[in-house]
Amino acid sequence: MANNSRASNSGLVVSVRGSVVDMRFDAQLPPIYSLLRTGEKNQIVIEVLAQLEERIANTGSGAIT
């Protein structure tokens, strides 16, 4: 996952519930309302909705997850 306007910060999907995706970031949590891109060609855009724990971000996707 990377926000194109900032340095790359990779995350790992830990949970998917419908359009809600929880992600773990070991380096740094992205700010709330950040747009993240994923998928083979970065075609899926998800938005950070909350920071749940020290390293877990709750995100939402407009695409089918």
For the chain, the structural domain boundaries read: 12-55
User: How do residues 12-65 score in pLDDT, each as one tens digit?
Assistant: 999 999 989 999 999 899 999 999 988 889 888 999 999 998 899 999 987 665
C-alpha distance across the termini of the chain, in Å: 15
- pLDDT at position 2 over 70: no
Burial 3-29 (b: 16+ CB within 10 A, else e): eeeeeebebeeeeeeeeebbbbbeeeb
